[in-house]
Amino acid sequence: MTDTLHRPAATTHVTVGRGPVSPSDLVAVARHSAGVRLADDALTEIARTRAVVEALADDVDPHYGISTGFGALATQHIPVERRAQLQRSLVRSHAAGSGPEVEREVVRALMLLRLSTLATGRTGVRPVVAQTYAAILDAGITPVVHEYGSLGCSGDLAPLAHCALVLMGEGEVRDADGVRRPAAEVLRENRIEPVELAEKEGLALINGTDGMLGMLLLGLHDLRELLVAADIAAAMSVESLLGTDAVFADDLQALRPHPGQAASAANLRTLLAGSGIMASHRTPDCTRVQDAYSLRCAPQVHGAARDTADHAALVASRELSAAVDNPVITVDDRVESNGNFHGAPVAYVLDFLAIAVADVASMSERRTDRFLDVARNHGLPPFLADDPGVDSGHMIAQYTAAGIVSELKRLAAPASVDSIPSSAMQEDHVSMGWAAARKLRRALDGLTRVVAIELLTAARAMDLRAPLEPSPATGAVRDVLRASGAAGPGPDRFLAPEIEAAVEAVRGGAVRQAAETALDHPLT
């Protein structure tokens, strides 16, 4: 999914090598095509630690990735004259992905993160390797990377190998115009010289968690926006189902002091302020004591998802500060093997987020369903239909949401609990973090659609409550949905385009912008 409104300020270039890449810089490069530059200090450190690797090149003692084979072949000594071939062979053999192409933003994200690790100087590559990698990214050249090939340990090997292959002038890319072409041809047009890899460099280009981390950061960016949209949808549902906002009071929420819950409840209070529909049933003759859980407990569920996202962001921040490679050049210039490429920390939170996404969507779909049932919708027509029986209203829109939620529950099954041994049992436990990231991206798209269907349904119910007036914020959201092509109540019509219009209003930020403009302050 993409976000065209609440994105980081457009940046002409992001400088890599002045510390960890920020999440906003990653979104700018990956999604909005910002260019990249390498910091001069980074190039100095890269050159310094390259000298450490070169000093070991003629050492009689074996050094993994420099004078030995890889994985289960680590005991094989490689003579000096064949070590350049070793690096080429590594990249070519590991560029073994299969399946559909991975999205451009994912490839750019993983390339930026690999470049950031190269810029630490901990990988032992020559400056020309990092400079060429940066030039490819800066030119908008995107290596063709495939869906399958990473086990999330030793990092995202196949996806990164497809990028390294392009550095060598081989493989396929999408040029800056998105046309799929041979890499050598596109590099030549952009005056980028392919690199002849030397000792350690092929390994340094492919041994990292960059793909799964990039998708985690993009996913967190999108999820935070979606949780605000979910609050807006919940507020519109509470309002149009004649629910109560008393349960969202600050003192009640403070009795259970989860920060995400407090933020969601604050959004709901703000969104419902000034609603004529809410005021219409704040009377002594109202007999409703409390609402169904899908209305009353929205802050608890949406808030738990926020807190889960905060935990995932903490893990991501630590990973952004890492220099993941094996072997690695330590700060005191030792060359050491390690296990930092294992994707478990990232894989776990990717799976955790998929659980939260499924639950938020599940609650949203339940609110949509309440609108359609005359036993629960408090005076609205069956299925919000114009002429029930002749018209079906939003009956099948709820089916669509239910079908998506069912899939999200399947996608919530963790990938990180699986492990299939590889490399002749040398790599006998893997994280499956790449798979966790891929299913999270699909889950976020599903949540976008489920929330959009709730918004569309709540807006129709809101119109059916006329002449009662909604709050300024929820009314503004209703109006932006109408302006986007999602018409109000009336006889049945082709509904799919209206659902897609609502999806784009959520995805593009128009829903949030409408609410915040009416409120004259941001939602959190």
Q: If we measure between CA atoms, which residue out of 522, 481, 498 comes closest to residue 236? A: 481
Over residues 452-469, mean pLDDT:
98
Neighbours of 60 (CB within 10 A): 6
Q: 13-208 with 216-327+339-519: one CATH topology?
A: no
**pLDDT value at position 282?**
85
Q: Is 64 a catalytic residue?
A: yes
**pLDDT value at position 6?**
33
Interatomic CA distance for residues 167 and 205, integer angstroms = 10
Two structure tokens written together for 218: 């993009």
Q: If we measure between CA atoms, which residue out of 292, 432, 404 comes closest to residue 348? A: 432
* Choice among 64, 133, 148, 399 that is catalytic: 64
Q: Note whether 258 and 450 are within 8 A (CB).
A: no
CATH architecture of 216-327+339-519: Up-down Bundle (1.20)
pLDDT at 128 over 70: yes
**pLDDT value at position 269?**
98
Buried b / exposed e across 325-334, counting CB within 10 Å, b at 16+?
A: bbbbbeeeee
Reported as a single tens digit per residue, the pLDDT across 180-216 is 999 999 999 999 999 999 989 999 999 999 999 999 9
**pLDDT value at position 408?**
98
Domain extent listing, the chain: 13-208, 216-327+339-519
Side-chain half-sphere exposure of 413, counting CA atoms within 13 A = 5
Is the full-model pTM beyond 0.85?
yes
Reported as a single tens digit per residue, the pLDDT across 371-388 is 999 999 999 999 999 999
Residues 6+ apart with CB under 8 A from 359: 301, 304, 305
- pLDDT tier at 427 (50, 70, 90 boundaries)? confident
When mean pLDDT is compared across 17-31, 133-147, 322-336, 459-473, the lowest value belongs to 322-336
**pLDDT value at position 155?**
84
What fold does the segment set 13-208 form as a domain? Fumarase C; Chain B, domain 1 (1.10.275)
Dihedral Cα 280, 284, 285, 290, nearest 10 deg: 80
- pLDDT tier at 4 (50, 70, 90 boundaries)? very low
Reported as a single tens digit per residue, the pLDDT across 108-121 is 999 999 999 999 99
Q: Note whether 451 and 475 are within 8 A (CB).
A: no
pLDDT at 285 over 90: no
Over residues 473-490, mean pLDDT:
97
